Chains A and B, each alone.
Chain A
Amino acid sequence: MCPDSIKTFFLDGREIPFREGQSVFDAAMTAGAFIPHLCHNPDYEPHSSCRLCTVIVNGRPFASCTQPAVAGQMVQSDTPELREMRRVLTQMLFVEGNHYCPSCEKSGNCKLQATAYDLGLQDNHFPQFFPKRELDASHAEIILDRDRCILCGLCVRVSRDVDKKSVFAMTGRGIHTVIVVDSPSGLLKDSKVTAQDEAVQHCPVGALLLKGKGFDVPIGERIYDKAPIAEDSVAKFQAREAHIHG
């Protein structure tokens, strides 16, 4: 039991303490309860687009990354229904783009792939969309393969809020949404982006990659080769939390 002074809510029957203003997601991860997620990174503003982190709060579904924790609320996350929904959402992301994991440089470091393993995805289930989006290999150090983009919006948010460059934005609508680069030509080489930009470090998939780093770390020794995403991201989350809040 937690002391009375600490506020808590219940996640799958477990009592989770939280700080005022913390989201359900952040509190859960800090307490060691993994919630699948792709568009959220605790260092940046959440924007609840991938919907993988959907949980049931007092009977209604919400994205946990943007849902404020409230004392006493009942949250369900690890249920067969929600696991199935997350599986289907992940399949949707796989068929919407072109993800040939065996030949992708991100393999083993990719959150989409790791999440698929976590959820026990057997196949893509739906017919592939086979999009043909523009590949931007114009930059000396960075490559943007839009067919692998899952539109998590992290590069957009980080370039705007951290790098203060707003190199990336989205255009199109619906299924035709794509990343655009801010430069007169629309190409990376004419933009302000550099390989040191925070925005290019956090792509969860192999859409934004640094050139010349290909297979620096051999397959088999990559992030999710060492630990499944559930363990890895909880550990990172807790380390970050300990670092910031002591």
Chain B
Amino acid sequence: MSQAVTPHPQETVRQILQRYDRDPGELLQLLVEIQHTFHYVPEEAVSLLADHLRVTRAHVRGLVGFYSFLSDTFLGDYVIYISDNITDRMLGNQDMAKYLCSRLGVKLGKVRSDGRVSVQYTSCTGMCDQGPAALVNGMPVTRLSRERVDRMVEFITARTPVTAWPEEFFQVEDNFRRSDVLFRRAFDPGTALKAAMLRGGDETLKEIQFEEAVDPASGIAWKRGADETLKEMYRSDLRGRGGAGFKAAIKWETCRDISAPERYVVCNADEGEPGTFKDRVLLSSYADMVFEGMTVCAYVVGAGRGILYIRQEYWYLKTHLEAVLARRREAGLLGKNILGTGYAFDIAIHWGAGAYICGMESAMIESIEGKRGKPRKRWPLPVVAGVEKRPTVVNNVETFAAAAMVALKGGVWFAGHGTMHSTGTKLFCVSGDCERPGIYEYPFGVSIREILRDCGGLDARAVQVSGPSGTTITRPEFDRVLAYEDLATVGTFMVFNHERDMFEVVQNFTHFFQHESCGLCTPCRVGTSLLANLVDKVAAGKGSPLDLEEVQKISQLMKTTAHCGLGQTAPNHLIDSLVKFRGDWEKRMMVTGFVPAFDLDASLEEARQLTGRDDVAAHL
């Protein structure tokens, strides 16, 4: 059945609306469902949504314009996105995109005239260890090859619905290559939560769990197990795995200690940093452990509501995650009466819709509330006033998984691994030029060289640690270690061998940030575009040393004045590259003086189009 532009979408939209509360917080979730249904957001839906949720049309349009995976024009029966991380490029995604477009007879970025299909690029889809990757109607296709593209074209030509494509087509591998103490065994659901609740006594759950008391000193209600588990969290010294490395115990305690009628626990599964895919693997194979970590956190801080905020790229995990949550409810590990203790907590899933900025916690909270993913004012912090202004703990997927293990095995056990200031183990997402890309678990303190040896990447010229917003490490630095004492990291580890031109890496990253800037603040909104233009100018052989100074100046400005981490870290790779791989820039520069960015011939393009001319005389 063709899904082409539905003539009267109102009825279907109304049916969808019926399944949602009249809560403005549902707007993004509704838009996601409408986009999946129609492959665009019809104008009729904008009005119906606005009326149903009592928000303005402008607000609805504001979201459609903000999120990459929402569109106000029809994208075709088959909507194809090609992942465009540098690792996809190194595996030939551009050739694949060209081949696919020519086989389909469609122009990149356009919908085929019969409305059957469109193909466009998207930011990294988190399949870097099995690229080049794509998404077809939300489903991931990995390891694109000519053969795979040919088959896709056959299905599309035959109008075979994506649900009827062979399952192996959408097979995503874990590629878990090395495990250490946290992920060595499968996780036994319930064990960590029971351990948390029983901490501080050897009684049975029934005897101690109702024993709630008010601490005379702070006036705060506490449960012994919760209190003792928080102490274990302190002993573990567990630091957030999402980038900033903030100590989880401090965040949890702050949240607990603010008096409020409700609290939230939010799991950050936005995983937007190009080259990062560990949270995907955890959610496919250790979802119970992650949910259990959230539940332990909720128990410790006294939260009743949990949210998993997950990127749209992982839509294919929806059925699986919902099944895990349902199973946990049945097992009494979620719901109104957890393990018979009377404690109530549940987890809802919120889908992102294509926006790297939504990994930034206050932008994520805006998105959870059904708004554009725009970072909030710096103060108050989300832990003080987060979702619906309630105290909110936001932690990364891996942080919650680790917290479950702290609850189970204790803080001292956890702190026995890793280094002095970076306890425990860390997942690394290895991709790029190496023989065995995938997930590697190491205790903190592992050196770059050791990972390169294990993954078969000894020909490395550089490693991009922590993604485009992180650090570029060169050969002489390979003995540096991954730990807060030296190189802080979210675990992204992209390897580039000696044949790679590091300028191409820079060009890819610069365009990523330009595409992902939320647009709120001047330095990042304008700066990311200026930087992308300057890098393109150098790429076109028109760069001069003055342009490199300009890159430095804008980079510095962004680091100092940008509102949030995105703009502050977006220039990191440029600053590194200009120091460490200046040669790759300079070999593109033919002149040493000033060259204007203004291109006289290009500026005549509009006149050429108006006059319909493209002959030699119409060019300079």
Contact = CB atoms under 8 A, between A and B. Distances in A.
B518 A174 contact: yes
Contacts of A89: 522-523, 557, 561
B562 interface: yes
Contacts of A67: 378-379
Interface size class of A (residues with CB under 8 A): 35 or more
A59 to B, nearest CB: 12
Interface residues of B, number: 43
A126 B378 contact: no
Contacts of A52: 522
25 contacts: A48-B378, A48-B563, A49-B521, A49-B563, A50-B522, A62-B378, A63-B378, A68-B379, A85-B557, A88-B557, A89-B557, A89-B561, A92-B522, A127-B598, A170-B372, A173-B65, A173-B68, A173-B518, A174-B518, A174-B529, A175-B525, A175-B526, A180-B58, A180-B65, A183-B58
Given A49-B563, A95-B526, A174 B377 contact: no
A52 B518 CA distance: 18
Nearest to B519: A177
Contact of B521 (A48, A127, A176): A48
Nearest to B559: A61
B391 interface: no
Interface stretch (B171-179, B290-298, B509-517, B586-594): B509-517
A49 B597 contact: no
A210 B218 CA distance: 57
Interface of A: 46-52, 54, 61-63, 66-68, 85, 88-89, 92-93, 95-96, 126-127, 129, 150-151, 166-177, 180-184, 186
B12 interface: no
Nearest to A128: B598
B57 interface: yes
Contacts of A174: 514-519, 525, 528-529
Contacts of A49: 520-522, 563
Contacts of A127: 533, 596-598
Contact of A175 (B47, B59, B517): B517
B529 A175 contact: yes
A170 B60 CA distance: 10
A151 B518 CA distance: 12
Contacts of A96: 525-526
Interface of B: 47, 56-59, 61-62, 64-66, 68, 355, 372, 377-379, 514-523, 525-530, 533, 553-554, 557, 560-563, 596-598
- B interface, over-half SS: helix
A180 B61 contact: yes
Contacts, number: 126
A92 B527 CA distance: 8
A83 to B, nearest CB: 13
Contacts of B533: 127
Contacts of B527: 92
Q: Which of B515, B516, B525, B562 has the most CB of A within 10 A?
A: B525
Nearest to B567: A51
Nearest to A38: B522
B377 A85 contact: no
Given A62-B378, A92-B527, A171-B62, A54 B560 contact: yes
Given A61-B560, A171-B61, A174-B518, A182 B56 contact: yes
Nearest to A126: B530
Q: Which of B379, B523, B561, B563 has the most CB of A within 10 A?
A: B561
Given A63-B563, A183-B57, A171 B64 contact: yes
A170 B64 CA distance: 11
Contact of A170 (B62, B355, B529, B561): B62
A194 B4 CA distance: 40
Nearest to A94: B526
Contact of A151 (B519, B553, B562, B598): B519
A167 B442 CA distance: 53
B377 A169 contact: no
Identify the 5 closest CB pairs spanning chains A and B, nearest first. Answer: A171-B65, A177-B519, A182-B58, A169-B58, A92-B526
Nearest to A169: B58
B241 to A, nearest CB: 24
A88 B531 CA distance: 14
